Amino acid sequence: MTTRSPSELVRESIAGAERALLVGPGPATVRALVAELRDRRTGDAPPPQSVRLLCTPETVDAALDDFLVAADAADAMEAGRLAVRTAAVESSLAIVDGRAMAQFSLPAAGPAPATVLGASGGGAVDGPLAAAYEDRWDGADEVSVDTPGRETVLDTFADRWPDAAPDLAALFDAVGPGTGDEPLDHVTACTLVAARNRLLAMRLGDWAESVGVSSRTEVARAKARLVDAGVVDTVREPVGVGRPRHRLVPADDRLADADPSELHAAVGVDLRG
C-alpha cells in the first residue's frame, strides 16, 4: 500500500488506460481528474479514451462548485472523455482496463489536499468486481453540467473581443480552481480583462448572461468591488439619448501593464484588503 496525493493517484490510474471507472472518489480526486484531463488535452500526454466517475450527488456538487472546474468538466464531457453518474456508493476504487485498485481518502491538516492510499487488487477478483460495478454504472443516474465549457467561454469572448481573448485565457489559467474563499473568481477575472481592454460594461454583462458565465447583476457587483478596491474605474460614453453606457478602464498602471499571474496576485491582495 502506498501513499499518493489525489493528483498523483489520478495520473497513475489513467496512464496508458483505454477505459477507467473511478468509484466513490472524493471531491479532491474528482477535481484532480478534471484538471488532468484538461492538461492531457492541451499537453503532450495522450488522454484515455474515456473516464467514468460513479459517485454520490454530494460529491459531484462539492467538486464542481467552482466555475472553472465545472467548465473543464463540461468540455471533457462534450468531447466524450468524461462521463459522470451518481448513486449511493460505499466503496472507493478504480477499475482501469479491467484491473481493480482500492482507494481510501484520509483528511489532511491545513490547506493541503487529502491523502489517498492506493492498493492493487488481486487478479482473481478483478473480473467479478469489474462486472459488479459495470452493473452499478448501468443503473446509476446520468449527470450533466449546466456550466458552459471553458472553450465555449473563451471562443465566444474572442468572437466579440479578439484582442482581449488571450488575456482572459491567461488570467483563467492564473486563477485556477477556487477554494471557495478566493477574492478573484471567474466573474471578477472577466471584469478585470474588460477593464484592461477598455470594454463597455453593458456589453460585458450582455455577453456573460447570454453565454451562461454569470448574470448582469453579478458582473455589476464584480465591477463595484473592483472600483471600491481602486483597481478599475469607469468613464461615461457619449451615446446620446437612452441608457447611459460606461466603459471599464484601468484605475492604476498594474492593470494595464502586469502579466496575468502578477495581476492575479496583486488584485487578490487589494480585494482582500
Residue 141 cell numbers, joined: 443516474
The domain covering 2-142 belongs, at the CATH homologous superfamily level, to: Endonuclease Chain A (3.30.870.10)
- Domain positions in the chain are 2-142, 150-272
Quote the pLDDT of residue 115: 45
Q: Give the containing element (helix H, strand E) for 119.
A: strand 115-120
Q: Are the C-beta atoms of residues 89 and 55 closer than 8 Å to each other?
A: yes
Confidence of residue 41 (pLDDT cuts 50, 70, 90): low
Region for residue 98 given its phi and psi (left: phi exceeds 0; alpha: psi -120 to 50; beta: otherwise): left
Return the minimum-mean-pLDDT range out of 9-18, 46-55, 63-72, 223-232.
9-18
Residues 6+ apart with CB under 8 A from 56: 24, 86, 87, 88, 89
Higher-confidence position of 157 and 7: 157
Residues facing 19 on adjacent strands:
50
User: Do 2-142 and 150-272 share a fold?
Assistant: no
Q: Grid cell 488571450 — which residue?
A: 166
Higher-confidence position of 271 and 209: 209
Q: At what angle are helices 150-160 and 201-211 packed, to 10 degrees?
A: 140
The CATH code for residues 150-272 is 1.10.10
pLDDT digits (tens, 9 = 90+) for 42-90: 555 565 568 999 999 999 999 999 999 999 999 999 999 999 999 998 8
Please state, in angstroms and rounded to a whole number, the distance separating the CA atoms of residues 273 and 82.
39
pLDDT digits (tens, 9 = 90+) for 30-39: 999 999 888 7
